[in-house]
Amino acid sequence: MSPFLPQLLHALRKVHFKTPDGIKIMFDANGDLVTKFDIFQWQKTPEGVFHSVHVGMIDPQISLGSKMMVHLKGDLQVPSSVCSESCLPGFSQVPRLGAPHCCFDCSPCPEGQFADQRDMKSCLLCPKEQYSSHMRDRCLPRTEIFLAFEEPLGFMLALVSFFLAGLAVLALGVFLKHRDSSVVRANNRSLSYLLLLSLCLCALCALLFLGRPSVLTCLLRQTTFAVVFTVAVSSVLAKTLTVVLAFRVTRPGDRIRVCLSPGASTSVVLIASFMQVVLCGVWLATSPPFPDRDMVSEPQHIVIQCQEGSGTIFFCVLGYLGLLAVGTFSVAFLARGLPDVFNETKFLTFSMLLFCSVWIAFLPLYHSARGKSTVTVEIFSILASTAGLLGGIFIPKCYIILLKPERNTAAWLRQGHQAQVSNWGYRVAQSFVFAIEEINRSAYLLPNVTLGFSIRNSGDTVHGALHETMSFLTGQEEPIPNYTCQHGSPQAALVGDTRSSLSVSMARLLGLYNFPQVFLSDQ
């Protein structure tokens, strides 16, 4: 410190005068000038030019205790000296990179976190049983949800389930009442009954997915669904295999004829269903499904759902059912071109196409859905596939039985194959009749033997030839006297068509019965 400073301060304290314009000039005890000061602010114009603006003044002589009075013009306020504004509740401070520590940004708290005070350094996590409010300033309790019967969606799905089950029972009643009609007899009655019963259970098993999940319902949901759908699909497979094998066997002594026995169809259903039961048994024994609380899918709710346990076995169960469905569709597709009397294969192909389409669409939807939507997707797939099988296979037959009874006869089935007889065919038929009559009149050719005959019209189509061959073998039509299958008269042989393509098709069917065929050449 300079030795002259105290003397200078002592002299400054005595300075006290007025300027010509009346402003007092004096110094305080610290040597500071006590006078009014103008406040100028440099402001930028829209053109980008800075100029000074008088915005106020400081008057040290008017003071409040230890504070100095500042006078500002107009609505001007004292500028804030802080770098950032205070963060409200629901926000946390995030420091700015490269800025002083007092500079920060206010970031909203993420889902599941909250900040209940101002200027919190970080957000706090909500407990698992709670979720953060919309303002992120507090936590609220979560509510438990599941697809209940009482809510509109659950009620509608349950209503559709009962409707489809009732429709299956109604179709079963129609088939039982008209069990001796041509339509029912032509489509394997026992398998039709089993398929209708399984479709009824398929529709009802969707109800297990509704309501609050429990230990029992979790155990029964997927296993019941897998078993009853396996029975349904294997029944369709057995029905289709019976028709396909009957028309694909070419050699009379082929061992595959064993598959056409009455118990073969039942064996297909039992074996396919037993394998699914074994898979489900292993699933329940090793890692069964159980009720679970999903805290992640829906932030504001706790989803009560069934955890599948072992995901590997679960997908093995679905994979087996899918493999069985694809195999059934493939067999039905191969059988689509069989004779019209067996046109059930066309409906089987269409229904299995719907079934496979539904479950192919189910897989991506099931994996992308969350919460209650997962159960909704599975119930919809169950009901849609059940409706596809029921509507594709049985509704057309019930329509014919109930509303078109004139079509429910063997005569109507044969009517579609009748056609104009060609001149060549008429001459062949006349020659055949003449030869039989000459043999019967002769006492030397076949003594004590009378030949009978039955002439049928194939319509020059493979379908017609196979239909007439089956009609001949099963005795659906009364033949000419002395050749009656029902009365035990011996059947000698069947004379084939003049065209080799028709005769070969007939030979395949006749070979199943070891019945001889005479080939008539057109050369």
Residue 164 or 352, more confident: 164
Does position 303 have pLDDT exceeding 70, yes or no?
yes
Please report the pLDDT score of residue 168 as a whole number.
94
Contact 164, 386 (CB under 8 A): yes
How far is the CA of 515 from the CAs of 19, 253, 409, 469, 505, in angstroms?
A: 144, 11, 26, 11, 14
Please report the pLDDT score of residue 53 as a whole number.
78
pLDDT band at 338 (very low <50, low <70, confident <90, very high): low
* pTM value surpassing 0.85: no
- The rounded distance, in Å, linking the Cα atoms of 36 and 92 is 44
How far is the CA of 314 from the CAs of 76, 107, 288, 307, 386, in angstroms?
A: 73, 44, 10, 11, 21
- The rounded distance, in Å, linking the Cα atoms of 178 and 405 is 11
Does position 110 have pLDDT exceeding 70, yes or no?
yes
Helix axes 372-393, 344-368, angle to 10 degrees: 180
Contact 245, 342 (CB under 8 A): no
Does position 154 have pLDDT exceeding 50, yes or no?
yes
Mean pLDDT of 391-409: 83
Conformation bin of residue 500: beta by default, left when phi > 0, alpha when psi is -120 to 50: alpha
Q: Which of 155, 199, 191, 142 is nearest to 371 (CA)?
A: 142
Q: What is the pLDDT of residues 228-253, one digit of tens each?
A: 999 999 988 888 887 666 555 444 44
Please report the pLDDT score of residue 382 as a whole number.
92
Q: Which of 203, 151, 147 is nearest to 376 (CA)?
A: 147
Domain boundaries defined on the chain: 5-72, 91-141, 152-408, 419-518
Contact 370, 377 (CB under 8 A): no
Please report the pLDDT score of residue 256 as a whole number.
52
Tokens representing 429?
């038929």
Mean pLDDT of 1-17: 66
- The rounded distance, in Å, linking the Cα atoms of 135 and 414 is 77
- Max distance between CA atoms of the chain, in angstroms, equals 174
Mean pLDDT of 401-417: 67
Please report the pLDDT score of residue 246 as a whole number.
59
Does position 343 have pLDDT exceeding 70, yes or no?
no
Please report the pLDDT score of residue 420 as a whole number.
46
Contact 46, 36 (CB under 8 A): no
Contact 380, 157 (CB under 8 A): yes
How far is the CA of 317 from the CAs of 279, 312, 366, 433, 454, in angstroms?
A: 6, 9, 15, 62, 54
Does position 520 have pLDDT exceeding 70, yes or no?
no
User: CB-based contacts of 19: which residues, under 8 Å, 6+ apart?
Assistant: 25
Task: Output the average pLDDT for the chain.
Answer: 78
Does position 123 have pLDDT exceeding 60, yes or no?
yes
Asked: is 419-518 a CATH 3.40.50.2300 domain? The reply is yes
Does position 495 have pLDDT exceeding 60, yes or no?
yes
pLDDT band at 479 (very low <50, low <70, confident <90, very high): very low
Asked: is 152-408 a CATH 1.10.510.10 domain? The reply is no
Q: What is the pLDDT of residues 164-210, one digit of tens each?
A: 999 999 999 999 998 888 777 776 788 889 999 999 999 999 999 99
Contact 352, 374 (CB under 8 A): no
Q: What is the pLDDT of residues 36-50, one digit of tens each?
A: 777 787 777 778 788
Q: Which of 319, 293, 297 is nearest to 307 (CA)?
A: 293
Candidate from 5-19, 112-126, 378-392, 467-481 with smallest mean pLDDT:
467-481
Contact 467, 417 (CB under 8 A): yes
Rg (CA), the chain: 47
